[in-house]
Amino acid sequence: MGFSRSAVALIASIALLAGCFAYNKPAKRWAYVGDTVLILGGGGAIAVDVTTKDEPCTGDNCLYKSPIHGAVVAGVVLVAAGLVGILFNLTRTDVKTTR
């Protein structure tokens, strides 16, 4: 059991298209929420992939299976995007807008 490639790609696309960079204080608050969701979603994808591994082959005719799967890669990308978003929002100065 695990994520299919299309499900992981859909989750990553939706999360990354949300745009978690902000330019003023109220928008930064919501950007931090979005960045946190990215980090939690990435951690969840990694956790699901790690906990649903197949049984290791112990015979002589075993094919090689990479320990890195699509869900791990998608999870790392989501976590990295969340961390970059947080760091970007922390270092960006607020823009004063007039209404």
Q: What is the pLDDT of residues 13-35, one digit of tens each?
A: 666 665 556 677 777 888 888 88
Domain that holds residue 76: 5-52+66-91
58 within domain boundaries: no
Q: Is residue 61 part of a domain?
A: no
pLDDT in tens, 37-76: 889 999 998 998 888 887 878 888 888 877 787 888 889 9
- When divided into structural domains, the chain yields a total of 1
Which carries the bigger pLDDT value, residue 61 or residue 12?
A: 61
Query: What angle is formed at CA 98 by the lines to CA 91 and CA 21, rounded to 5 degrees?
Result: 30
Please report whether residue 80 resides in a domain: yes
Looking at the whole model, is its pTM more than 0.75?
no
Whether 99 is in a domain gets the answer no
pLDDT above 50 (res 1): no
CA atoms of 78 and 42, how far apart (whole Å):
5
Q: Helices 5-17 and 25-51 sit at what angle, rounded to 10 degrees?
A: 170
CB 41 within 8 A of CB 11: yes
| 93: its two tokens | 């100065």
Is residue 11 within a helix (H) or strand (E), and if so which, with residue range? helix 5-17
